[in-house]
């Protein structure tokens, strides 16, 4: 019997990405999004770390559904801003998910910061929680630096201003496949596959 696993998101792109990774790893699981459970309330991200928020969401979804649950939390950590926006990345300018406002605010805050001090990293924590209380967390990290203006139209969030170390294109100038291969979320989700295999016995 195929094991059902809930990914704590309504984001179809995240769901499709994890499905691709698990299929590649040969895991026989049926992956569902939280939209399959209309009565399930959103879980506020109230913790002070990526790891804490990922665990909180996975734990609550596993408890509510009685199924193994996977959740992630990610963001951009800028060295010149002492690791901010960090867990506040999606709402840095005040309204959740306003990419353009977030980009404008961050670029303004770094306007006087010299190029040599514009290092940053995308960070992702991915957690799995089982209904019996078993929990695991894995992480992914992509280092680079912040440009002074936008480049590229793919991706989302801070991708147009993030240049990974060793690359000449931003993560917004990469194809989805190129970005998935190096991204913080791709790293974390690939690391999660063997953990799921171990916990679920698949």
**Which distant-in-sequence residues (6+ apart) come within 8 Å of 21 by Cβ?**
186, 189, 190, 192, 193
Task: Answer for the pair 1, 30: CB distance below 8 angstroms, yes or no.
Answer: no
Task: Answer for the pair 144, 164: CB distance below 8 angstroms, yes or no.
Answer: yes
Radius of gyration of the chain (CA): 17
* Pick from 144, 93, 108: nearest CA to 123: 144
**What single-letter DSSP state applies at residue 122?**
E
Could you give the maximum distance between any two Cα atoms of the chain, in Å?
58
Q: For residue 159, indicate whether it is catalytic.
A: no
Length of the chain measured in residues: 202
* Pick from 72, 76, 77: nearest CA to 125: 72
Set 23, 42, 72, 73: catalytic member: 73
Task: Answer for the pair 160, 150: CB distance below 8 angstroms, yes or no.
Answer: yes
Task: Answer for the pair 7, 71: CB distance below 8 angstroms, yes or no.
Answer: yes
Q: For 99, list phi and psi in degrees, rounded to 5.
A: -55, -45
Please give the positions annotated as active site. 73
């Amino acid at each position: 019997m195929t094991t059902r696993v809930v990914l704590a998101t309504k984001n179809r792109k995240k769901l499709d990405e994890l499905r691709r990774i698990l299929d590649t790893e040969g895991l026989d699981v049926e992956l569902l999004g939280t939209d399959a459970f209309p009565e399930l309330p959103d879980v506020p991200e109230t913790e002070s770390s990526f790891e804490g928020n990922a665990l909180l969401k996975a734990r609550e979804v596993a408890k509510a559904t009685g199924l193994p649950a996977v959740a992630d939390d990610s963001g951009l950590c800028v060295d010149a801003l002492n690791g901010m926006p960090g867990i506040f990345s999606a709402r840095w300018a005040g309204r959740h998910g306003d990419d353009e406002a977030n980009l404008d605010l961050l670029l303004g805050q770094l306007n006087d910061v010299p190029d040599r001090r514009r290092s940053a990293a995308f960070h992702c924590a991915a957690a799995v929680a089982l209904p019996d209380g078993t929990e695991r967390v894995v992480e992914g990290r992509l280092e680079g630096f912040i440009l002074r203006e936008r480049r590229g139209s793919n991706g989302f969030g801070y991708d147009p201003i993030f240049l990974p170390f060793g690359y000449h294109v931003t993560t917004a100038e990469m194809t989805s496949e190129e970005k998935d291969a190096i991204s913080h979320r791709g790293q974390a989700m690939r690391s999660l596959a063997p953990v799921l295999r171990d916990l679920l016995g698949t």
